[in-house]
Amino acid sequence: MKRIICYIVLICFCFSFAISPVAASTEKPTLGDLKRDLEALKKEKAENDAKTEAAKQEIAAKQAAIEKAQADVHAAEEEQIRVEEEIEASTKRIEELTEEVKNILVYLQQMQSQNAYVEYVSGASTVTDMIMRIAVVEQISNHINDTITNLKEEIKRNEALRQELIEKQEKLKKDVENYQKAISALYGSIEGYDAFEADIETKIQTAQKKLEEFTPLCQEYASDKGDDAILAEDCVKPAVNGGYVIENGAWLKPLERGTITSTIGTRWGSYHNALDIGGASPFEGTPVYAAAAGVVSGRTERYKCGGNMLFIDVNVNGEPFTTYYYHLLKFNVNIGDIVDQNTIIGWVGGYSTSTAHGGYDTCTTGAHLHFGVQKGYYNGYSITKSNVITPPGFPNSKGWSFTSRYQMYG
């Protein structure tokens, strides 16, 4: 769970969907690009699903191995108890037999000193009987000695077995520990896959919606071009100036007034790719304008970290850029719409939309606009860190305020 929380926090401040089929570019996306991007995302989702399933199967296998190892440990412990009992019994028997040997030797010695042994042997009726009588005494003694020797060897084998069982138990317990660590790592992988899954689900929904919204526009205005139709030129309503290539001579502020509350750069260990702009309460509901004229190229609704997010492709002094606006209370434009610098594209959110106040957005606690600019056109899925710039007319400085959309820094 901790890994998932860290992952969400990372997205919160990066606002960078790292896995993307196409990077921001000066190339203008086509209808065919949208289709290919959607298929690429679906493929990534399928690969992620396969990884998750494989991890779950491996966890099941490791759990089965743990159960077997634990059963083996239990069996080894019981075997060790049995061996200990056998060692104890053999040791006791050795002591008893040793005592018997001593008694026999004493008896033989007594017999010899009292000539009883000689009488016993010489009392044989035949030579054969005499030999047998001598052999009986020797066999008794030898049998006891052989038995003691065997018991000592048995004790030696049992002690070796005991050591083997101890080592086996230690190994099995180590195996259980390693299996448990492996399972923990696999669960961590699944958590990562699940976080990725939640992210890619949103990407697929965004890409699907973008394709659905642009397809009829391309069919209406550029049916002859098919998949080669350029989204921001061929698939928009004709404008007075001849289409999408709206030349902006300057940038304007996206709000009438505001104060920078957070800057671009590393923040709490993560990369924050935009300026956060707040204002005097009540700030939520403040109109948000397009900082430059262009075409709406992306719209993500109620994303878990960023809320309602809008992306607009613009061209300023001949250079392509993407402007992006997060934590909107609601939208006022759709994908494919041409907007100018007087167009209200949405309204500031971030307070009522935050999870802290009963909303859905985990990456905000108060009303503000997350406003950013990157070089190159937006692909619909990712803002590239290396392409992010400080929005023209702004300083990357916390606390700087403006009171007009035309106010420029410096």
Taking 70 as the threshold, does the pLDDT of residue 242 lie above it? no
Note whether 277 and 259 are within 8 A (CB). yes
- Residue 227: what residue type? D
Residue 20 falls within a domain, yes or no? Answer: no
Instruction: Please tell me whether residues 198 and 315 are part of one structural domain.
Output: no
pLDDT tens digits, one per residue of 129-164: 556 656 666 777 677 777 778 777 877 887 887 788
The CATH number given to whatever domain includes residue 193 is 1.10.287
Q: Check whether residue 217 and residue 255 sit in a common domain.
A: no
pLDDT for the residue 63: 79
CA–CA separation, 223 vs 232, rounded Å? 15
Res. 223: pLDDT tops 90: no
Top mean pLDDT of 83-87, 165-169, 272-276 is at: 272-276
Mean pLDDT of the chain: 77
On whether both 217 and 135 belong to a single domain, the answer is yes
Q: Please, which residues have CB within 8 angstroms of residue 80's CB and are 6 or more apart in sequence?
A: 162, 165, 166, 169
Q: How many domains does the chain have?
A: 2
Tell me, what's the pLDDT at 245? 42
Is pLDDT at 349 greater than 80 in this prediction?
yes
**Which residue type, as a one-letter code, is found at position 276?**
D
Write out the two tokens for 188.
Answer: 């961590």
State the pLDDT at residue 395: 94
Task: Find, among 406, 404, 409, 405, the residue nearest to 393 by Cα.
Answer: 409
Task: Out of 165, 193, 224, pick the residue that ends a domain.
Answer: 224
| Same domain for 386 and 314 | yes
Q: Are residues 165 and 136 in the same domain?
A: yes
Secondary element (H or E) of residue 259? strand 258-262
Print the domain residue range for 324.
236-402
- Asked if residue 279 belongs to a domain, the reply is yes
The distance from CA 83 to its chain's CA centroid, rounded to whole angstroms, is: 47
Q: Which residues contact 91 (CB under 8 A, 6 or more apart)?
A: 155
Cis before 287 (ω within 30): no
Same domain, 173 and 85: yes
Among candidate residues 189, 224, 259, the one where a domain is terminated:
224
| One domain for residues 240 and 369 | yes
The answer to whether the beta carbons of residues 38 and 212 sit under 8 Å apart is no
Percent of the chain with pLDDT over 90: 23
State pLDDT tens for residues 350-392.
Answer: 999 999 999 999 889 899 999 999 998 766 556 778 889 999 9
What confidence tier does 239 reach under pLDDT thresholds 50, 70, 90?
A: very low
> Is residue 201 included in any domain, yes or no?
yes
pLDDT value at 281 more than 70 = yes
Cα separation, 33 vs 355, in Å, equals: 35
What phi and psi values does residue 249 have, to the nearest 5 degrees?
-90, -20
Whole-number Å distance between alpha carbons of 329 and 309 = 10
Tell me if 17 is assigned to some domain. no
Q: What is the CATH number of the domain that holds 306?
A: 2.70.70.10
Which of these three, 203, 224, 245, is where a domain ends? Answer: 224
Predicted local distance difference test score (pLDDT) of residue 27: 66
> What average pLDDT does the segment 176-198 reach?
65
Residues 117 and 263 in one domain: no
Nearest to 152 by CA among 91, 88, 80, 79: 91
Query: Does 198 have pLDDT greater than 70?
Result: no
Check whether residue 203 and residue 282 sit in a common domain. no
In what helix (H) or strand (E) does residue 321 lie, and over which residues does it extend? strand 319-331
Residue 11 located in a structural domain: no
Q: What is the structure's pLDDT at 313?
A: 87
**184 and 308, same domain (yes or no):** no
Instruction: List the one residue out of 329, 318, 393, 406 whose CA is nearest residue 360.
Output: 329
AA letter at 396: N
To 5 degrees, how large is the angle CA 215–CA 344–CA 320? 60
pLDDT recorded at residue 129: 56
Cα separation, 309 vs 304, in Å, equals 11
- At residue 376, the pLDDT reads 84
Report which of residues 243 and 268 the model is more confident about: 268
More confident call, 154 vs 301: 301
